[in-house]
Every structure is written in C-alpha cells, then in structure tokens.
Structure 1
Amino acid sequence: MPPGFQETAHLAQLDSPEGFVGLPHNLEVEQALLGAILVNNDAANRVSFLTADHFFDPLHQRIYATAMRLIERGQLAIPATLKTYLEADAGLKEVGGPQYLARLAAAGTSLLHAEEYGRTIYDLSLRRQLILIGEETVENATNGDTENPAIHQIEHVEQKLFNLAESGQAEEGFKPFSRSLSVAIENIEAAHKREGKLTGVSTGMRAMDDLLGGLHRSDLIILAGRPSMGKTALATNIAFNAARRWQRSKVEGEDPSKGGGAVVGFFSLEMSAEQLASRMLSEQAEIPSEKLRRGDMTSDQFRALVRASQEIEDIPLFIDDTPALSIAGVMSRARRLKRQHNLGMVVIDYLQLARPSGQSRSENRVQEVSEITRGLKALAKTLDVPVLALSQLSRSVEQREDKRPQLADLRESGSIEQDADVVMFVYRDEYYHERKQPEMGTPAHQEWLERGERIRGVAEVIIGKQRHGPTGVARLHFAKETTKFGDLAEMDHLPDRTF
C-alpha cells in the first residue's frame, strides 16, 4: 500500500458523525475492498451482503454506493466512470480528488480475498451498531421519562438486538433448489409416516386436520368469529391438543417434533391464566365450568377433576396473560420461549387487543392493525412456527339472513386477510337458532324444535382462505357446557359447501 495512503483516507473521516471516531473500523480493509471492486467488478458479486452503511468512512460509503449502482445497471465501475459522478464530492476533494479513486484501484486486494475483506467490514459494522445500541440503552435508562417505563425499554432494546442478529442471518441470499427440495421431501416423508398424514401441528380435530394438513410452520393463521361463537374455546382446545400430543410423544420415546405436537406459547390478552386453566380443566374433566366456579361438584366429579389435573399438569403449555401487550413484547417473549423451551406454536387471543410497537398509539387504527399483523407474520417466519391469532368480526354479519362469516367481515383492516396464510371462521348455527323461537303450539314451533335437534352441538369451522390447500367447512361437535370442541361421530367426509 502506498506510504501515507491510510492517513490520507482519514481526512475523509472529517465529516463522520460526532462520536464515531472511537468506534471499531478498519480503513485499510475498506480501501482494499473498494480497490478490488474498481479493478474487477466481479468482486461486487462476492460482497453482495454489504450495503453502503456497512462502511465506516462516509466517503467510502458514497464510493461503494455509486459503484454498485453502476454495476447493477450493467455499466462499468472503474475510476474513470466514477469520476463523472463523484468529482464534485466535497469529501473526495479533501483527499486529492479523482486521483484518490486511482490510488484505491492500485491498492486493491485480489478477487480471492474480496469476500473475506467484506466479512471483516460487515463484522465491524455490527460491532459499531452494538455499541450505539448500548449507548442509547444507557441514555434511555438514566432518563426519568415516566412515559417510557423500563419494561418497554427492555422490549425496545431486545427488538433492536434481534433485528441486528437477523440482518446477519439474512445475508445468505439465494438457496440452491436442491437444498430446498431436500427439506420439502423430508417434510413430505414425515407426513407420510405420521398418523393422519399431517405436515404441521395437529389441531386434535380430524375434520380440521383433513382440510388444513395441520397448522404449518411459518404460517400466520387467523381464527375469527363473532362473540359467543367459541373462538377462544377453539383456540384453547387446539393449543391444549398440540401440547398434550407433544408430551405423549415424549413419554412414548418418540421424537416430539415429528408427532404433530408442539410446545405452545399462549398470549391471553383478555382472560387471566387462571381462567384459561379452569376452562381446560372443565374440558378434560367434562364438568361444566360454572360448576367449577361455584365448587358445586359430586364426589365422583371431584375425583375426575383431580385425575384430569394430574394428567395435564406437565404439558408444555405456557400462558402469558399480560394485558395490552405490544407486538414487540409478544415477539420478545416468544423468542425467549423459543430459546428456553423450543417453542413450536404461538396463540394470541386476540389480535385487536395487542398494541403496535411504537411508544405512542396511532390515530389510524387500520395502520395499527396492519403493523400488528405484519409483526405476527414476521414472528411466524422468524421462529419457523405457526402463529394462531384470534380476531373479531364486524357487526355486518348480524345484518345478513345467512350469518356465516366471510372474508369481507374481518374487522378494521384488509391487511389481516392479506398477511394471513390461513383465515378461518368459527360459526354455530345453534346460537342464532335459539334466539328465533316461534310461538309455542304452532307448526313453525314444531319445525323449530326439529331443526334445533339436528344442529344441536354442531359447529362449523369455515376455511375462507388457505394458501396451501382448499377452502371448505369442517363440521365439529361443540359441548356448550364444557366449551369443548371435538369430532362429530358421523363425520366421514368433508362437507360439499366451499367458499
């Protein structure tokens, strides 16, 4: 390298942001890599994971950005062509003008070493960002801002650190088709060997699994319904079934990850953890939940309750009942559960009760819901787990004669439908039928009674959208007293009704 070359480059550092001088950097490596690109533009392909911001020196950032723009347009990026775009650059003038570009090319590293130099620049950039996150953390923690409590600061820092870590993993770029094909074959083979032919987490209900093939990793699944339809009950049933299946596989000495079960993280933004636990006890002991609340049980029922509690106490189901949790908080806690207990599925009850990640709420509720659904989809992809999020429906359902929900009924944002891989609705005709009782003693009343018998305990899960398969309806049994969903005894085929 020519004598004094690095010192000359330091002059370009004069317009560096204040506080950057003591941060980790290596100007010689930056110069050598830029020189390699100017000598042989193929070197740029070997460092495609770099962006201009990864360079420490502002002038080097501008040189790299200009060179990459030319290369992307199919033009030659050499000192002579860059001169046209940079000769008026004040930073370049301070270090000798266009001659600096020629000296970069003369000092460039070989094509073979370009990627190694790029990795060094990338690593130093991450170190600088770590330091800046640390400084921001200290400043915020020492600031007595009552509107930014410590727990929100922790979530904010963890989100920044996670984004920083993810930016390092995202540099892999294209994957060979052979590798993707191999993973797909493994998943199909596992489904072929698995009971029920599932490729995802089992819901525990045959009709739903037949339509969905289980809940797939990296999918955002929306479960929507009007009040009293049983969407929370269905979600707790699915979560419990997945966790119990995981536990049983483990006890039987099988690989739990291949048995259709999952370790479940349940974010209950509406009900307390104790209320959810009581629901699950009611379902498993088959004792009406209202009797559990009052303690009104026979001796046999109490023994059944004890047996049920002993059977389910060790299932890997974790409940977080923090109210008004931000989407950043959900992501932070889910990542922690993934590290600690190998989380395999996330449930959120319900989407509209979550807060966006920002410190202040937006006046535009549509934008808030859009941010939440994008965050949940990112969570599903990042952790490679299915995320089941419950959602409300608009009141327009109640104005129709046929009250079966449709995609247009999703409340507040089209982004719910757009971001979701699966959208399903829970519907119970029995609920509406009970509220239409005709006058007793009339023929209409007799017809009402007969129809009530036919639809008693029948629930429909309407698959309104599915990226990986068909839409349709799964008919389930619903025990209203214990809020438990299960298979209909007579169901040997899928319904004909499709959407």
Structure 2
Amino acid sequence: MSASLPNALTARLEADNQLPVTPSAVEAEQALLGAVLHNPEALDRARDHVRAEDFFEPVHRQMFEVMCQRRDAGEAIDWKLMKAVLGNADLGGVTTGQYIARLASEAITVVGAPGYARMIAEAAQMRTVYETCQAGAARMTCGAVENPAAYATHMIEQLDAVASAALAEHARRVTLGHSVTSVLARVDQVRQGHAPRGVPYGLPKLDGYTLGMRPSQFIVLAGRPGMGKTTVALHVALTAARRSGAVGFFSLEMGADELSERVLAATAYDPREPELITYRAIAEARGLSPDAMGRLQEAERACAGIPLWIEPQAGLTLAQIAARARQMRMRAERQGIPLAAIFIDHIGLIRPSKRYQGNRVQEMTEISSGLKGLAKELGIPVVGLSQLNREVEKRQDKRPQLADLRESGSIEQDADVVLALYRDAYYLEHKADRTDVEEDRLARCLNELEIEILKQRSGPTSRITCFCDVACNVLAEAAR
C-alpha cells in the first residue's frame, strides 16, 4: 500500500489485510487534487461533476473545499496553501510537504479531470447505496415487526438521489456557443422532417399554436368539474404514447380500471356504428351486445402495445411522484424508447410535505415549483390537471381565466402553458327551465369543448373548438 496515503485511510485498508467494505476512489481523489495543484483549470472542469462532500478521505475533502473557495475568490492555489491547510494532519508517516509533492508528481492532465471527478462522484453514490442498504437491514433485523412500507419509503427517498444523478446530465452548465449550435442542429432536423417540434397533443390546431408539448415544459390543464379534463388528458397521453414514446399517467383520483374503461371506449369509438360504447356501459357490462364486445376486443388488441404506464396510487407526495417518474425514465431507456411525458391527475391531490403544513397557498407553491423542476430535470413535458375555483360559477360568462386557478398564483407563475377547458353544454344541461333559444343552443353545442390557451411563454393565446363526446371519452378537432 502506498506510503503517501493518509494514516486514517491506511488503517482502514490494512485492518485484517482486507480491502474496505465501503466503496471509494482514493487514487482518483489524489490524481485530481494533484492536477488542480498543477493547473487550476482542472478544478473548473471537475466541479461540474463532483462536490467536496463526495470525497471519501476527509483530508482530501478539506483540500478540495479550500481549492474551490480560493478559485471562487480569484486567488492562487499552490502547494504552500495546501501545506497550511493540512497543518499537522496524520498522513501515514510522511510530512505534509512530502504528501503534497507526491500528489503533484502523480497528477493527471486537465483533460482527464472530468473523468476522475465522475469516478469520485460515482464512488460517493455507491457509498450512499451501500450505507442505505446497511441501515435498512439493521433496522429490519432488530427483531421487531413493524410496517415495512415505512422502511421502504425511507430507502426509496435515500436512493432516489443516486438514481436521479445520472438523469440530470442535460441540465448541467453549457456554454452559449454549444447551446446555440444545438438549437440550430434541431432546427435543421425539423426543416428536413427528421425530428418533431414537440410531443403532439393530437389536435392539429393546438399543435400549430404551441409547437406541441416541448421538453422541460410544465403544462397545466385546468377546468371546473365536468369540463372533461380527464378526457382531454387521456387523449393527449394516448397520442403521445403512440407517436413519441412512453408516457407516465399518475391517477391520484381514479383507479386503473376506471381509466382503462375510458381508454377502451375511446379506442372502440366509431361514429358510423349505430351503437356507441360509453365507458359507463363498459363498467355496467351486462348491456353490451356481441358486436360491442367484438369491437372492445379489437380495442384491447390495439391498446396492448401502447406504452402508457398508469400509476393509480392515491396520496402520493411530490417526492414519490418524482422518484417513480425517474424509474419510468430508466425503464423506458431499457426498452429503447424515450420517456415522452408525465401526466398528473390532479395537482390538488398531491400530498404536500410537512414543511408548510396548514398553509395551503405555500403547499401549492411548493408543489407547482416542484413539478416545474421535475420537468426541467427529466427534460420532458409534465402535464398537471388543475381544478378551477368556484368564482367561475358566479360569473355570467363562465369561461375560465388565469385568476381562477385554485389556491395559488404560483401555478400561473410556474406554468409554461395553461390550457383551460370550457363546455357550454354542461351549464345548459344543468340549468332548470331552459328557454327555446337555450334548447337550440344546447343541441348545437352538445359535443363541443373549447380549449383556450390562457398562457404560453413563447407563443400566442387562442381558443380552439373541439368535438368532444365525454361519455365515450373521445376528443377530436372540430371540422369547421
């Protein structure tokens, strides 16, 4: 074993002539620190990948932290400074000067700094995995029988940081030159028809106004109850899953069977058939004709290969949604397809953390900013369904406005796109003593749904009228 290793580490390595159980990359730490002593530019390249707390050896951790502080202050980094930092540290029988000289003599080049930095970070992540598993095993072998979900939840939260580390590569710092080159390359691909502008909504006019659901966007689909939020969300999710890749659908309100009934009704829909199959008819089952059963079996076959993954558990926290979304991303990559989008039905049912317990406005602020952060981290659109407040019902014109978003202005602030839904037929159907004029209007707008773009960071606002048969969960652009 090298005499240049700090004494504390030497003791760990040589105890019982065994290697340490804990994963480490001490030689990579030494090589990186030596490179910084030779050329501080190595530190600039390394810091995109490693932090001081990732270093296994405390002496190395202290050296790296001081190097970062000096670099940020615009001050020099040299062996005299490091000698002062180390002081009288126990370095296994060598002086601090000898140890620093050894680091410098075995240093890597600036070009190799990122690779060694990643190695150090990966060792730190491996330690997190190892220590989490050890702690979990210790807790579960103490003899007491308790709820295993608590242990599993704790371990998932600890390990999720490791799982997400590799997923956020795209969000790291880039130069302007690299970024604009990437944009122009994408523009060229789109112009040649080789790449889509965004994940499609499945409504040509809406896709035209918005360029589709773009990466890292937080999209809010808002409406009062009965406006068809789930109908629209399932239509968009199915379109995305068929054309762009896997889609995660977090259904915090409905079970998987209820959603599947709606998907089957939409897939089996055929306006030319005399019998329309509603999702209620599928739930009741007894009244379905043999012809309807045949169409549903065809719909089943059509749905079999669609990568729409439903998470039906209620009461999920934002952290749990994020963890499962990352798992979906890795699952999709293993299958050789991208994760195209995440849908959450609905935002108001996400269980808040205890940080702002009792303050609903702050709870919703935390949730909306977290969903925007998740969209940026994964580099995909995140679509959150949102209820509008009851103030809508007090107006004569009940078309929604941005101010109607429930409980927090942060949703409006954090969202890149806000789409609001309105069905005039819903209010006419629930109105007593309709006039003849209103009866005529109801007949004309019975299957109409308006989608209004209330907010779009990089595009116009507009209103689109669609055909919508809510009972069959069918949405299509109106032919006008």
TM tier, shorter chain? 0.7 to 0.9
Aligned AA (1:413) = S
Q: Structure 1 length as normaliser, TM-score? A: 0.76
Which residues of 2 match residues 30-69 of structure 1 at below 5 A?
Answer: 30-31=29-30, 33-48=32-47, 49-69=49-69
What is the match of residue 468 of structure 1?
A: 458
* Partner SS state of residue 199, structure 1: coil
Give me the whole-angstrom Cα distance separating, in 2, the residues matched to 1:390 and 1:206: 21
2:476 alignment partner in structure 1: 486
1:156 aligns with 2:153: no
Aligned to 2:350: 354
Q: Distance in 2 between matches of 1:373 and 1:154?
A: 25
Mapped partners of 1:198, 1:28: distance in 2: 46
* Residues 102, 377 of structure 1: alpha-carbon distance in 2 compared, 3 angstrom cutoff: same
Task: Classify the secondary structure of the residue corresponding to 2:383.
Answer: strand
Which residue pairs with 2:427 in the alignment?
432
Measured after TM superposition, the shift of residue 427 of structure 1 is 1.1
User: Aligned partners of 1:390, 1:53: CA distance in 2, in Å?
Assistant: 39
Aligned position for 1:319: 310
Checking the alignment, whether the CA contact within 8 Å between 1:34 and 1:105 is kept in structure 2 is: no
Cα offset, 1:177, TM superposition: 3.3
State the SS of the aligned residue for 2:201.
coil
Alignment of 1:73 onto 2:67? no
Residue type at the aligned position of 1:41: P
Following superposition of structure 1 onto structure 2, how do residues 67-466 of structure 1 map, counting pairs within 5 Å?
Answer: 67-80=67-80, 86=85, 92-95=87-90, 102-103=97-98, 105-107=100-102, 108-109=104-105, 110=107, 112=109, 115=113, 118-142=117-141, 144-146=145-147, 148-153=149-154, 155-166=156-167, 169=169, 173-174=173-174, 177-178=177-178, 181-182=181-182, 184-186=184-186, 189-190=189-190, 193=193, 199-243=197-241, 246=242, 260-283=243-266, 284-285=268-269, 286-294=276-284, 295-297=286-288, 300-334=291-325, 335-336=327-328, 337-341=331-335, 342=337, 343-356=339-352, 362-436=357-431, 445-466=435-456
Rounded to whole Å, the distance in 2 between the matches of 1:137 and 1:95 is: 34
CA contact (8 A) 2:133 2:155 kept: no
- Provide closer, same or farther for how the CA distance between residues 289 and 210 of structure 1 changes in structure 2, counting only shifts above 3 A: same
Shift in CA distance, 100/378, structure 1 to aligned 2, threshold 3 Å: farther
**Aligned-pair distance for 1:428?**
1.3
Pair 1:51–1:355, CA change in 2 (3 A): same
For 1:21 and 1:171, locate their aligned partners in 2 and report how far apart those are by CA, in whole Å: 34
Structure 2 distance, partners of 1:27, 1:483, is 59
CA distance in 2, matches of 1:134, 1:313: 36
Which is further off, 205-214 or 37-46? 37-46
Shift of 1:333: 3.4
Deviation sequence 1:248-296 (CA, Å, 0-9, x none): xxxxxxxxxxxx4433332222112222222223333332334444433
Q: Cα offset for 1:37?
A: 3.0
Deviation larger for 335-344 or 465-474? 335-344
Counterpart of 1:456, as a letter, is L
Does the Cα contact within 8 Å between 1:203 and 1:241 map onto a contact in 2? yes
Shift of 1:93: 3.8
Shift of 1:235: 0.9
State the number of aligned residues.
452
Q: Structure 1 residues 44, 309: CA separation in 2 closer, same or farther (over 3 Å shift)?
A: closer
Paired residue for 1:252?
none
Comparing 312-321 and 4-13, the one that deviates more: 4-13
Q: Deviations over 1:57-76 (max 9, x none)?
A: 33332332222212212122
Aligned residues with identical type, % of pairs? 32
Report the counterpart of residue 250 of structure 1 in structure 2: none
One-letter amino acid of the structure 2 residue matched with residue 223 of structure 1: L
Q: Contact (CA 8 Å) 2:371, 2:382: kept in 1 or not?
A: yes
Return the offset for 1:461.
Answer: 1.0
Q: Give yes or no for contact 1:40–1:111 (8 Å, CA) kept in 2.
A: no
Secondary structure, in 3 states, of the residue corresponding to 1:468?
coil
CA distance in 2, matches of 1:484, 1:7: 68
| TM-aligned CA distance change 1:315 to 1:429, over 3 Å | same
CA RMSD in angstroms, aligned pairs only: 3.8
Residue identity in the other structure for 2:209: L
Structure 2 unpaired stretches of 5+: 13-18, 270-275
User: Does the 8 Å contact 1:207/1:476 carry over to 2?
Assistant: no
SS of residue paired to 2:468: strand
Q: Secondary structure at the match of 1:128?
A: helix
Contact 1:355 1:368 in 2 (8 A): no
Q: Deviations over 1:408-442 (max 9, x none)?
A: 2222333323332222111112222344455x7xx
Q: 1:188–1:322: structure 2 CA closer, same or farther, 3 Å change rule? A: farther
SS of 1:222's partner is strand
> What's the CA shift for 1:171?
9.5
Output one character per residue of 1:1-51: Cα deviation in whole Å (capped at 9) or x when no partner: xx96535686999xxxxxx98634465654554354345433323422332
Match of 1:251 in 2: none
Q: Which blocks of at least 5 consecutive residues in structure 1 are unaligned? A: 14-19, 247-259, 491-499
Are the aligned partners of 1:34 and 1:104 in contact in 2 as well (CA < 8 Å)? no
Q: 1:207 is aligned with what amino acid?
A: K
Opposite residue 488 of structure 1, the aligned amino acid is A
> Aligned-pair distance for 1:227?
0.6
One-letter identity of the residue aligned with 1:325: L
Counterpart CA distance in 2 for 1:178 and 1:39 is 28
